[in-house]
Structure 1
Amino acid sequence: MNVLLRNVTIIDDSSPYHLKKKDILIENGIIQTIGEHLSKDDIQIIQADQAFVSTGWIDIFTHFSDPGLEHRETLESGAEAAFAGGFTKVFTIANTHPVVDNKAQVAYIKEKSKSLPVQIFPIGAITKNAEGSNLSEMYDMYNAGAIAFSDGLHPIQSPGLFLKALQYVKAFDGVLIQQPFDTTVGTYGLINEGIISTQLGLPGLPAIAEELIIMRDIELLRYTESRLHITGISSAKSVELIARAKTEGLQITCSVTPYHLLFTDEDLQSYDTNLKLNPPLRTKSDREALRKGILEGIIDAIATHHFPQHNDDKDKEFEYAKNGMIGLQTAYPVVLESIPGLSAEQTADLFSFNASKIFQLNRSKIAEGAEADLTVFNPAGNTIFTKEKNKSKSNNSPLFGKPLKGEIIATISKNKIFINK
């Protein structure tokens, strides 16, 4: 793969070229030269006058459904969607069939993904079969390549068990990821509890179901002095709780989905099942708190929560439809549409740099001689996501045909390139 990025602004605070417009010559997947007015015969040129380039983006919470649920997604189709969305690294949750709860399952994903354009990092289950009863073989999974540990779609309900897990991962400085909701509160809730749920006659899922778990887990984190990442926060109080815990010095970080920055429960008046999510879409005031949390640096990362669902599980009455939407290819434009003032540096922090720090990944660099692991993005561009452009096996998105701000120009990783055309 040989390509010349021309007149692109580099975003890499570890590089002497940070915030400078340069040409970048890449040959056989390696950055050969960074300079000005570069030229090369018989090479693909990407003219990127308004674009920025950062080290490759990382999605820390996504569902590739493989093994066992390949009718929704495969590692191959998920990787293609991620690559088209600007991601070069993806963390996959453990809620497959069978669950990723042992080193053999971790090894399966690592081996099967070697030839794919993105690096796939399995998240190992905290408990056996993600059932919340007994701890899994986390140390063995860590040695096999698990990046972090989470029961994913089934967050740990037992405080005693979660405390043991927090203590367990301290042996290797591991990180637990929790998607917070108390399953005993609003058990049958379908959307956010509030005015809209009352108007639509749908059972509500109150924000306190999320906030109780966050409060509990902060207390357990304080006690264990371990490391915790909360993903998918959706309420103003959740942002406030995590901000206070950070001020205290606890090792806590958090992420938000792109769609919680864009939509609110008012958008559910159309009964679009693609907007049926867990955590559910909250109020406008909650959405504003999330946006503010991004700009103030309280929220560390974007996590797409890309959850493919087969048409049969979405094309039905709202009550019976499954939760989730796809989101890898629309993550950047949705975030930029939600927060138009987001700078290129803040974008790189949210999509790449912060995740590298949190999960202790070897951060790639934009330097001569380095492997090209890059995302080229243009905040001045526009994106219209269509079913024809969709790389996922599933189509559960409310965004088809809607114009959005921002555009992924190209993604480069593992001597492969995606160019948005």
Structure 2
Amino acid sequence: MQKDSNPGSQGGPGGRLRRRRGSNEVPAEVVKANGDNLLVNDRNKYKSMLIRGYSSVWMIGGFALIIYMGHLYICAMIVVIQIFMAKELFNLLRRAHEDRQLPGFRLLNWHFFFTAMLFVYGRILSQRLVNTVTTDKFLYKLVGRFIKYHMVTCYFLYIAGFMWFILTLKKKMYKYQFGQYAWTHMILIVVFTQSSFTVANIFEGIFWFLLPASLIVINDIAAYLVGFFFGRTPLIKLSPKKTWEGFIGASVLTMFSAFLLANFFGHFQWLTCPRKDLSTGWLQCDPGPLFKPEHFTIPEWIPQWFPKREVEILPVQWHALCLGLFASIIAPFGGFFASGFKRAFKVKDFGDSIPGHGGITDRMDCQMVMAVFAYIYHQSFVVPQNLSIEMILDQILMNLPFEDQLALFTKLGQIIQERRFAES
């Protein structure tokens, strides 16, 4: 009998160690980007599809319920997602042996995490918080103090963590500790950059959060299903099961869905009205020109069997096409980046909290790219670029104490009276 030349296949202890693999490690056959790994040739694809579909139904149902409950609940969902993402990423390079020699070191990561959370959400929600407590004098003063000293509070919390880190440095473990310190800051940048733009989108109107998020979900599902049934041509080596057929088919379906969904969402004031405070009541507002229908006559070259000769289109639907194009062509590269990241660390998924999908981070890779683009697009092409009375009032109420507001009011009255007298 010929002896196996591969020591990893032997039955001794060394062989067992070499063949042992963590549950989250990438199998060798998945890493190879060849035709045998495409979903169309996968023997277990139907079982995988059922598990993935079951999880998707629960996620979409829960997501719809949270959207119905309103802005604060959506923000709470974002916070929960952030915590799970941070946990998955903190654990990615965690070494149990080193952590046992550094009691409390993992707690330091969460100290930085919640300091960053206080800084980000304090800046985003400060004006909404002021608008919520204006009727209560004590709370108004308390919130005013918080806003005034918010930045210095966050700074000293960070400095406390910095000093904590220095004091816990241990001989022969410097490299591991400094690596974890850098890793923590990278995680905070990734997680909170995405979340800050996401929360800003929510308060500009749930529409600007819901539509981009929905387009990513639609694109992901469409790419999976089209690739599942028709995929033949590998798209990129980083994701062996991605195909050109799935990519192109998903792009067409996402653009079509963007146009239709924008029209559907645009008819609900609950989704289109911006939220100026932190209350949970129903919203009513002037929808603005973007959400007021315009009538278009169907061109004569369209066949006569088309049911309508005149259609209503919301101007925001043209903006939705731009979001759909980005969600189809650019946002998937967030997923490719995450795939390359996982390959680099030899893991299949960031976690296993969602059956059939992996971890929370696996579902948020494209969403992070999309949220940033949606905010930048909204601020650049949708929001008026000139200063408005509302924007100026927001700055006055947030940054000036009550006495200075009265002084400003008096001074403006004097200026107006002088100009009126001069013109007369």
Query: Which entry has the higher C-alpha Rg, 1 or 2?
Result: 2
TM range (shorter): under 0.3
Between the two structures, name the one with larger relative contact order (CA 8 Å, sep ≥ 6). 2
Using structure 1 for the length normalisation, give the TM-score. 0.25
- Please state which structure has a larger fraction of its residues in strand: 1
- Please state which structure has a larger fraction of its residues in helix: 2
